[in-house]
A and B are shown apart, each in its own frame.
Chain A
């Protein structure tokens, strides 16, 4: 089963490799990983999409939580959350295909962010299904290049993960033995 794990970490050099190293060293797979600073610039938030049975996910969350630089770990799959991914898709846009490319972009409320005599570059943001869907529709036109950010996700409502300095604790909201 797929899990989306939010990891709040100290914004220090080496923190990312500590976390990715934990995954590779223990043979866990990372499907996507994205990272950026939070409101508090001394803290970064990572979103890691990974897959595994419950036992593996429990180990992943506990092992992550054990790292000294890790402030908090939350497995969002057990919560209500919102997720987004951005993709840039460079498609063939020969004169006869242009109308179709524009139409697809329009349906998905995607933007054309670059054009050249033979290509359009389309920017799409949405949940992973939406991104997959537009890719599938554009495929017949001929996708020349495709880049995706990996997913970011945030919990809805009261489950606040990123917080300001001094208001953080290390409790794992899920996955830890109670």
Chain B
């Protein structure tokens, strides 16, 4: 029996076991929506903006490990997804983005709602393809899912002209994918794994530096085995949090620009860095020339381009993190060095560093400190929530103060730093796990970047709890301006508003507000008692900064811990004036 392209597409999605599609209809993809109208197995979540929908798919993918699927129309529908696609590309998040396209005969004619989406997204997709013939459709979709999820995962875009989804042909879904030019290497070189094992046995000051690759390959258990078996402390990247239990005694927390002092000192003074599924991002390394001067580097990554890109690896191992770590553990298990306590002096040195500069903030008795809110959220959720964030100070505070114990519980925008990621990602995560508690921690600046998705949360009754850390500023921008631009707060002051409580109510959600420290717990408890989506407005100290911090251009052990002019009395009048200037230029 012959099926239309639209029917074939939906059949493909069923074969790929897709349960949810984040979508927005338009002229050229109406044939697909028409098929979806009768579809029982695949749920369509109507987002309110295609960027939001694509971030939802990212959130879904990040918490499940399965590809997020997006369906949008041509032209503006497709171009609206670009930021989120770039975000997924940077964070190696598997997505399949299905874009409508004008009919093949109109392509190139500047037709209504036409855009060269394959051209536009070429640099920010792992792969993309324009399907020009309905007979190629099933194969294209099969390959899209395969490419998106294999090797280093990433977004794949399939562009679907209207005549192709209307045309009919026999449906045949390929069983296997064979792409002669694409075959990721999972195994890793045995000799190099052996070399790595020997280095780990010899090392006296080893550190594991674990990134998102641990989550992508599902290697948390192998990582735990390695760390415990060899007594090696573990520091994690922003993307890697949750891959190793944050409450574990061997956990050093995050490293890098806003990492912990002891994590950065450990890296700086180590004699062996075991980089696992991480790519030496510039937010991690600080000044590259002075990165870990005495350390030998083992670098495990599935993507060969990550190796030697920033830091020269002494033992590069290309392959899947899970496979390689279990191979490594096999070798180490039979060695006698395992529990010999050779790293004991090192661990106690780290514990001294931990005491020297703990994560700290000065909570007075009235004004709420943002860090306090994060700590109370951690307490209120007993560390069990999925927490998405936007981008900025609040994101770093969550990374510092929320101890993620489980993998895939911290969807946030790492590589691209996309404001507006948090709310839709939380919605996607909640859709994936309806019974889990999902928090979105956002800033008052970033939350409004995709605030329209409140409507999505309300209409599908997805009970995400949104905590707005409201400091009336673009906090991280303000912090940089304070430290590096002589407090000239150019266009970073947002001022009052919107009124987040009324805004939540306008969308049909519940809005709550805390202005003083005593109200924080109360607001959290109220929010947790509500069955639907809640937006909490935490009005926090406006000028709190995120510390510790490695200033841009410094090496990672050169951290600052507090405001350089802390002791200096604040010039109140001048500050007010600058706020006014900020409003004028905003």
**Which chain A residues have a beta carbon within 8 Å of chain B's beta carbons?**
9-10, 14, 17-18, 21-22, 25, 55, 58-59, 62-63, 65-66, 68-71, 165-166, 168, 170, 176-178
Q: Are A71 and B304 in contact (CB under 8 A)?
A: no
Give Cα A4–Cα B309 distance, bound, in whole angstroms.
Answer: 21
Q: Is B573 an interface residue (CB 8 A)?
A: no
Q: Are B308 and A177 in contact (CB under 8 A)?
A: yes
Given contacts A59-B305, A62-B304, contact A170 B183 (CB under 8 A): yes
Contact of A65 among B126, B180, B304, B313 (CB under 8 A): B304
Q: Are B122 and A66 in contact (CB under 8 A)?
A: no
Q: Is B249 an interface residue (CB 8 A)?
A: no
Given contacts A17-B119, A25-B123, A68-B127, contact A176 B181 (CB under 8 A): no
CB distance from B14 to the nearest CB of A (A): 25
Give every chain A residue within 8 A of B189 (Cβ-Cβ): 178
0/1 string, B160-199, CB within 8 A of A gives 1: 0000000000000000000111110000010000000000
0/1 string, B109-125, CB within 8 A of A gives 1: 00000000011001100
CB distance from A114 to the nearest CB of B (A): 35
Give every chain A residue within 8 A of B96 (Cβ-Cβ): none
Give Cα A178–Cα B126 distance, bound, in whole angstroms.
Answer: 24
- In this complex, the member of B127, B179, B180 whose beta carbon has the largest number of chain A beta carbons within 10 angstroms is B180
Give Cα A177–Cα B318 distance, bound, in whole angstroms.
Answer: 8
For residue A8, which residue of chain B has the nearest CB?
Answer: B181
Given contacts A17-B119, A17-B122, contact A176 B183 (CB under 8 A): no
Q: List 8 A-B pairs, Cβ < 8 Å.
A: A9-B181, A55-B308, A65-B304, A68-B126, A68-B147, A70-B181, A170-B181, A177-B307
Given contacts A59-B305, A65-B304, contact A71 B122 (CB under 8 A): no
For residue A55, which residue of chain B has the nearest CB?
Answer: B308
Give Cα A66–Cα B305 distance, bound, in whole angstroms.
Answer: 8
Given contacts A18-B122, A68-B126, A69-B181, contact A59 B309 (CB under 8 A): yes
Give every chain A residue within 8 A of B308 (Cβ-Cβ): 55, 58, 177
Q: Is B303 an interface residue (CB 8 A)?
A: yes
With A14-B119, A66-B305 given, can you name 11 additional A-B contacts, CB distance below 8 Å?
A14-B122, A14-B130, A17-B119, A21-B122, A59-B305, A59-B309, A65-B304, A68-B179, A165-B180, A177-B318, A178-B189
Give Cα A98–Cα B496 distance, bound, in whole angstroms.
Answer: 82
Give Cα A68–Cα B126 distance, bound, in whole angstroms.
Answer: 8
CB distance from A162 to the nearest CB of B (A): 14
Give Cα A65–Cα B303 distance, bound, in whole angstroms.
Answer: 11
Give every chain A residue within 8 A of B119 (Cβ-Cβ): 14, 17
Q: Is B463 an interface residue (CB 8 A)?
A: no
For residue B309, which residue of chain A has the nearest CB?
Answer: A59
For residue B143, which residue of chain A has the nearest CB?
Answer: A68
CB distance from B160 to the nearest CB of A (A): 16
Q: Are B118 and A14 in contact (CB under 8 A)?
A: yes
- In this complex, the member of A63, A170, A177, A178 whose beta carbon has the largest number of chain B beta carbons within 10 angstroms is A177
Q: Are B318 and A168 in contact (CB under 8 A)?
A: no
Give Cα A9–Cα B308 distance, bound, in whole angstroms.
Answer: 25
- In this complex, the member of B130, B147, B181, B189 whose beta carbon has the largest number of chain A beta carbons within 10 angstroms is B181
Given contacts A59-B309, A170-B182, contact A66 B303 (CB under 8 A): yes
Q: Are A168 and B180 in contact (CB under 8 A)?
A: yes
Q: Is B316 an interface residue (CB 8 A)?
A: yes
Give every chain B residue within 8 A of A22 (Cβ-Cβ): 123
0/1 string, B288-313, CB within 8 A of A gives 1: 00000000000000011101110001
Give every chain B residue within 8 A of A177 (Cβ-Cβ): 304, 307-308, 313, 316, 318
Give every chain B residue within 8 A of A14 (Cβ-Cβ): 118-119, 122, 130
Give every chain B residue within 8 A of A168 (Cβ-Cβ): 180-181
Give every chain A residue within 8 A of B180 (Cβ-Cβ): 71, 165-166, 168, 170
CB distance from B306 to the nearest CB of A (A): 9
For residue B124, which residue of chain A has the nearest CB?
Answer: A25
